[in-house]
Amino acid sequence: MVRSPRVTLTNAVANPRSLGLGILIVVISAACSASFLMTRAGQLASLDQQVRHLESFGVVITDDTYEQLRRVVPYRPVISAAVILIGWPILWLLTARVVHWFGNRTVESPPRRSDDRPARRPATFAQVLTVVVHASAIFAVRALVAAPVNYARESLGGATSLGTLMPAFGESTFPARLVGAVDLFVVWWVVLIALGLGILYQTRTLSVARWLFGAYAGGAAVLALTQALRGGV
C-alpha cells in the first residue's frame, strides 16, 4: 500500500480478502498504543490528556477528581487496545456498508452518457470492505511512527497532525485547532479509499476524492470550531 497502492488495490478488488490483513493492522496498532501507555511518559501523557479534556468542558479538577483519574491510568493500555481490537473492525464494517450502499445506488442510477464506454457494475460488499481494510493498512504505519514521536514529546495524540508541521499559529486559535484536526495519515487514507473505489467502480479517482475530502474537511472544521468555542476563543 505504500509503494504500489494501485497495483495492490487492483489485486485486492479482483480477489477480495480482508480478514488476515485486518488482524495484522489491529494487532500492530494495539501493540504500539498499549506499549506507549505502559511507559512512564505514556502514563503521564494519558493523565494530562484526561485532565485537559475535562477542563475543556468546564469541569473543575479537584484533588479527589485527579486521584480518580490517576487510578484509571494503569488500565489505559488495556482500554486502548480493546478499542482498537474491537472498535476498528466495527468501524470498517459500518464504513464499508455505507460506501457499498451509496456506491451501488450511484451505479444503478447512472447519468446519461453519449460515449460507448461499458456500463459500470455494482460492487459486492466484500470488495468494498477489502478496499476499506487495505487502505487502513496505513494506520498501522501511523502507529509505528506515532509511538516513538509521542514518547519523545511526552504527549498523547497529535504526533501526525498537520499542526505538528505548521506550529506558527497560536495554540488556542481556530486556525491552530483546524490544522491540528487534520491528520496526515487520515488524508493518506482518504486518498487510498478514493483510489480503491475509483478502481472498483470504474470511475475517476478525483471525483471520488472530491466527495471524501469535502466530508473530511467539513468534519475537521466542525471539530476545530467546537474546540475553539470550548476554549473561549
Task: Dump pLDDT digits (tens) for 34-50.
Answer: 999 999 999 999 999 88
pLDDT digits (tens, 9 = 90+) for 79-127: 999 999 999 999 999 999 999 998 888 766 555 555 555 556 788 999 9
Using CB atoms within 10 Å of the CB of residue 187, give its burial: 0 to 12 exposed, 13 to 18 middle, 19+ buried. middle
Reported confidence tier of residue 233, pLDDT bands at 50, 70, 90: very low
Reported confidence tier of residue 26, pLDDT bands at 50, 70, 90: very high
Instruction: Answer whether residue 173 shows pLDDT above 60.
Output: no
Tell me what pLDDT residue 228 has: 53
Tell me what pLDDT residue 184 has: 86
Instruction: Answer whether residue 59 shows pLDDT above 90.
Output: no
Instruction: Answer whether residue 78 shows pLDDT above 80.
Output: yes
pLDDT digits (tens, 9 = 90+) for 175-195: 556 566 678 888 899 889 989
Our CA angle for 83, 86, 91, nearest 5°, is: 90
Mean pLDDT rounded to a whole number for the chain: 82
Instruction: Answer whether residue 213 shows pLDDT above 80.
Output: no
Q: How far apart are CA 207 and CA 226, in angstroms?
A: 29
Instruction: Answer whether residue 142 shows pLDDT above 70.
Output: yes
Tell me what pLDDT residue 61 has: 84
Task: Give the three-class secondary structure for 183.
Answer: strand
Q: How far apart are CA 193 and CA 171, in angstroms?
A: 31
Of 7 and 182, the structure prediction assigns the larger pLDDT to 7
Of 77 and 223, the structure prediction assigns the larger pLDDT to 77
For residue 197, how many other CB atoms are within 10 A of its CB?
A: 27
Instruction: Answer whether residue 138 shows pLDDT above 90.
Output: yes
- Kindly compute the dihedral angle of the four CA atoms of residues 208, 210, 212, 215, in this order, to the nearest 10 degrees: -150
